[in-house]
Structure 1
């Protein structure tokens, strides 16, 4: 049907909703003797209109329309071009990769799809962007202040953000403060969608002076739409970098090592050994 000329029509929602469960009709459908249509699975829980109905029969003519009725994704303004079968539209919306996320920079009200938002971060706020590959180690400068460092997967264009913030009582004191570093997947609804791709990451900082000291952490990457900002020290899991490792290069941000794995393959990977 997608190859045929398309036309946009308006119908009352009740025509495409089951009279028993009130959800979108899914084929196969059935019609009661009173002429009301329900999902075939709802025969045992009749709608009030079907009370006293003696029998249900397959409604093949309704199935044709139910399979053909399509709805444009509400995220079309953010770049999604999907037009889903109506009864599957809610499932698509919950998993849509174009669902808008938000700029965490104070005073900036920008919102867009993750890919477009990454371009905004780079162009408007001059935050660095690094192309990364899964299961590969990448070296970036530990972000400072309110800045983020963006990581964009070469494989699927998934956007990740890395942030750091002062940690502990040393912040603002004469002594150098420890730092927290965290990573998140920029995705509006990833944690709520069953079967959505999951990631694990390993972050570490090592002693540039060759002392052998290493701070390292591995965790499942959370998803965030960044609507509440992204402060590393406020995340559930983060890398705590002690002051000793922050003093390796006076005036320069120490190197942060980052590796992101798809969760399905992360368990099979051998433990990560920091490079010499």
Structure 2
């Protein structure tokens, strides 16, 4: 038989075997990933890789590193508090809420980290909202549809002196469940409350004097991939 024209496609089984066995380093090797993945699955691994770089959100700091390294940096260099949290288990936090600032370029905020039992890192931001407070949570990780869907349930507790105001001490007055999105924290994203879905409580829920908010945080895994960013905008608008 005559050979196929030069412009036609000729299947080469040998190349199939070659590329099937070919393994390449993760493109995030410089950020600590030591995986060598099949060539055909390199994009799939990239979308799920936990070493995808994130940014230090502190003004004037330009560090870019993996989420795990960033958590150590924020705790060590910028004194962010770190609390451990187990999925599906409420974690009580006493979150100081800064007072509303005088006119200033940047709003006041308190930031801290939560470390999950799978070493995932979450950033918690709290700030004034009118006379009360707002709290948000994001997963510190580059945004990717491969990430598991997470939800956070907030439950605010009245302060100890609330009994004088006619509230039952220890009762739950405000709670909400909302999706947890991923953020690489670039340009302050993820810790700027005005850009996030947030849990809002009135000023009566803050401890007098210290302005601490006693809030329980529970993070749950749920089925399916993380929603697209447009879905979060729809939730925020509703």
Q: What TM-score does the superposition give when structure 2 sets the normalisation length?
A: 0.78
**2:195, 2:202 → 1: CA distance?**
17
Conserved? CA contact 1:215–1:239, under 8 Å: no
More strand by share: 2
State which of 39, 64, 77 in structure 2 corresponds to 1:124: 77
Question: Is 1:200–2:174 an aligned residue pair?
Answer: no
**1:143, 1:188 → 2: CA distance?**
28
State which of 134, 156, 160 in structure 2 corresponds to 1:180: 134
Q: Which has the higher contact order (CA 8 A, sep 6+)?
A: 2
| Long gaps (5+) in structure 1 | 1-31, 36-48, 169-176, 266-276
- Residue deviations 1:32-59 (CA, integer Å, cap 9, x gap): 9357xxxxxxxxxxxxx31xx6xx55x3
| Long gaps (5+) in structure 2 | 98-107, 225-238
RMSD of Structure 2 on Structure 1 (CA): 2.1
Runs of 4+ in 1 over 3 A off after TM superposition: 32-35, 143-147
Residues 92-241 of structure 1 aligned to structure 2 (within 5 Å): 92-144=45-97, 145-154=108-117, 156-168=118-130, 177-190=131-144, 192-193=145-146, 196-208=147-159, 209-210=162-163, 211-212=167-168, 214-229=173-188, 230-235=191-196, 237-241=197-201
Conserved? CA contact 2:109–2:128, under 8 Å: no
Conserved? CA contact 1:203–1:217, under 8 Å: yes
Conserved? CA contact 1:204–1:239, under 8 Å: no
Conserved? CA contact 1:105–1:146, under 8 Å: no
**C-alpha displacement at 1:264, in angstroms?**
3.2
Across the two proteins, how many residue pairs are aligned to each other? 202
Which structure has the larger Rg? 1
Q: SS of 2:17's equivalent?
A: helix
Q: What TM-score does the superposition give when structure 1 sets the normalisation length?
A: 0.68
Equivalent in the alignment of 2:4: 33
